[in-house]
DNA sequence: CAGTGGTCTAGACCACATG
DNA sequence: ATGTGGTCTAGACCACTGG
């Protein structure tokens, strides 16, 4: 009762509904559409908890399995998350964010007036494995810095990333990064004022359990995966970044190199 | 019996298996992994039909619902397709194709040694709606050409696209296109030898029923959606293309404008 | 017509998280 | 100890497709 999430168990929006078995659309889809409307209308706020599946199924007059089919769809779309033993929660209005490719993906979010938060999960020294060595043109075993972060827009985690950087080029990484949590600031402090994107890759997949927990998703939700390499003005590779994004929340935009 | 798809109903790979209810992974996932291994080993070939769900469930010693959970996952990953009233079919080994962004996405496939087929679904004259007008910088209602195609790599449909082009700039479109099914040839025939990508957008979603039928997918399978605009050497917009790709089959690569 | 996948019911047990 | 979501069973009816 004293939790910090809103409880909506007695909201009247769930009861008294008529779902006809054969009215051109399956029942689970009608439930899906109805709950989606509640979310998009703001009658279900992000972070709030839904009634238990047993109760919900009762309110809608269907079996739990039928109800779960509707919830499953909503989870795949990123509208709901479930935590085993806890409950089902409204995740966000995954309105498409436009993410432009420049040196960094996230700049355009701030320009959009979104509140962007960065959580640093891991910052450690390590040695390059084969993949990192290939991406950064380093020998295998070269010292690197590993930085894992999660970024949230308007309170909803939307992007989990791991950056690998050559440690030799950035001896003061930890000290500078601690001040502002900004990789750009670290580059500037090491005399790298300008850097640019060398390659970007976008692929698709399904969230692993780790990605799911970082992004507050249900495992096996479809996601984007990005891999990008940045270089300094001379073309030296200084950063390899891999990221994971909720499929329905982003919209990658690539402008032409010479717009006019 | 005389169909052109291989029948595998009596393949021994489905029977005699032991799926323990509580061996650290749920039964449906064990079935998923087992069937996936059959596909990746080549014991189930693309295009072949699986035994009916009732039979399969019997062979695996589980309920149809449990079996369906495994099949559902395999469908979302693009390994299987189901057609209501017909059956479940092996779709392909969705090995990631690398698609590079240049003027056209598909050039790199041919270079990969893949057999690329193009099927033209629609070629018609139309008038620009608001969206097309905005993308091509035309007045609403301007005459345009609409071209809908599906492309397949190694026999598996992988890309459905709709192109909108300004009809006034390409008066001989239909005649030239009929010869080689090539839009590039049409441009050349109209004196447009060089054209380049102005903007590319990549977003994610779930296959509509139309997209699903074009790509031989189950509806609501996660997909990429692309939108790209090409311009001629002078910067005039000459082509707006929207596409749909199976999420697990492609890997978009964007190289830097000045690689070295 | 027979066989298929799509939907739905009415139960049950389990692992997990919380108080 | 309680309530949650995750899994599973054993049936059933339907709409669709093909011969």
Rounded average pLDDT per 10-residue block, chain A, 260 residues: 42 59 81 94 91 93 95 95 94 72 65 79 95 97 96 86 95 92 92 89 93 92 94 93 92 70
The answer to whether the CB of A114 falls within 8 A of the CB of A98 is: no
The Å distance, CA of A82 to C1' of C16, is 13
* pLDDT score for B12: 46
pLDDT of residue B154: 78
Dist. CA B80–CA B74, nearest whole Å = 6
Average pLDDT over residues B8-14: 52
Residue A250 near residue A97, CB atoms below 8 Å: yes
Q: Which of A113-127, B87-101, B233-247 has the highest mean pLDDT?
A: B233-247
Q: How far is CA B137 from CA B134, B151, B163, B236, B238, in A?
A: 5, 28, 15, 9, 9
Question: What pLDDT was estimated at residue A112?
Answer: 67
* Contact (CB, 8 A) for B232 and B192: yes
Q: Is the pLDDT of residue B108 over 90?
A: no
Residues B32-88 have pLDDT tens digits of 999 999 999 889 999 999 999 999 999 999 999 999 999 999 999 999 999 999 999
Q: Identify the residue whose tokens are 């769900």.
A: B53
Question: E strands within chain A?
Answer: 80-83, 87-90, 97-100, 116-127, 143-153, 156-166, 195-206, 222-232, 237-246, 250-255
State the DSSP string of B232-258. ETT--EEEEEEEEEEGGGEEEEEE-SS
Q: What pLDDT score does B3 carry?
A: 39
- For residue A88, say whether its CB is under 7 Å from any atom of strand D: yes
Mean pLDDT, residues B213-227 taken together:
93
* CB-nearest partner of A254 from B101, B235, B251: B101
- The contacts of residue A62 (CB under 8 Å, 6+ apart) are A19, A27, A28, A31
Whether the pLDDT of residue B133 is over 50: the answer is yes
The full 3-state SS of B125-177, as one line of letters, equals: EEECCHHHHHHHCCCCCCEEEEEEEEEEECCEEEEEEEEEEEHHHCCCHHHHH
The pLDDT value recorded for residue A6 is 46
Would you call B204 and A206 a contact, using CB atoms and an 8 Å cutoff? no
Instruction: State CA B75 to chain mean position distance.
Output: 14
Alpha helices in B45-103 (DSSP H): 53-60, 64-76
SS (H, E, C) B36-48: HHHHHCCCCCCCC
Cβ distance B252 to A202 less than 8 Å, yes or no, reads yes
pLDDT recorded at residue A153: 82
Strand C at less than 7 A from CB of A213: no
CA A147 to CA A184: how far, in whole Å?
A: 13
* Amino acid B235: pLDDT: 87
d(CA A10, CA A202): 43
Here the tokens at position A43 are: 């009658």
C chain positions with any atom within 7 Å of a protein CB: 3-12, 14-19
Chain A residues 209 to 228 with C-beta below 7 Å from nucleic strand D: 218
Question: Nearest nucleotide, C1' to the C-alpha of B219?
Answer: C6
CA–C1' span, A28 to C7, in Å?
9
CA angle A79, A222, B150 (to 5 degrees): 115
In this predicted structure, what is the pLDDT of residue B24? 76
Of residues A232 and B4, more confidence is placed in: A232
Does at least one atom of strand D sit less than 7 Å from the CB of B56? no
On average, the pLDDT of chain B sits at 86
- B201 and A257 within 8 Å at the Cβ level: the answer is no
**In what helix (H) or strand (E) does residue B195 lie, and over which residues does it extend?**
strand B195-206
Percent of chain B with pLDDT over 90: 63
Would the pLDDT of B259 be above 50?
A: no
Distance in angstroms (rounded) separating the CA atoms of residues A140 and B30: 36
């Amino acid at each position: 009762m004293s939790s910090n999430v809103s409880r909506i168990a007695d909201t009247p929006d769930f009861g008294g509904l008529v779902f006809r078995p054969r009215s051109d659309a399956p029942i689970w889809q009608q439930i899906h559409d109805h709950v989606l409307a509640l979310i998009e209308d703001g009658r279900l706020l992000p972070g709030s908890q839904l009634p238990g599946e047993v109760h919900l199924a009762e309110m809608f007059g269907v079996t739990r399995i039928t109800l779960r089919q509707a919830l499953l769809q909503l989870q795949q779309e990123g509208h709901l998350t479930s935590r085993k033993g806890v409950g089902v929660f409204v995740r966000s209005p995954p309105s498409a964010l436009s993410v432009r490719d420049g040196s960094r993906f996230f700049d355009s979010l701030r320009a959009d007036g979104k509140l962007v938060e960065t959580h640093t999960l891991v910052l450690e020294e390590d040695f390059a494995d084969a993949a990192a060595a290939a991406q950064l043109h380093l020998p295998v075993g070269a010292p690197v810095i590993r930085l894992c972060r999660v970024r949230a827009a308007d309170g909803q985690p939307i992007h989990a990333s791991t950056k690998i950087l050559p440690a030799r080029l950035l001896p003061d990484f930890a000290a500078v990064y601690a001040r502002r949590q900004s990789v750009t600031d670290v580059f500037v402090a090491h005399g790298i004022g300008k850097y640019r994107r060398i390659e970007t890759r976008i692929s698709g997949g399904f969230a692993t359990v780790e990605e799911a927990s970082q992004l507050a998703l249900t495992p096996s939700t479809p996601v984007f995966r990005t891999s990008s390499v940045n270089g300094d003005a001379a073309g030296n590779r200084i950063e390899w970044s891999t990221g994971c994004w909720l499929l329905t929340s982003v919209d990658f935009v690539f402008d032409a190199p010479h717009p006019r």
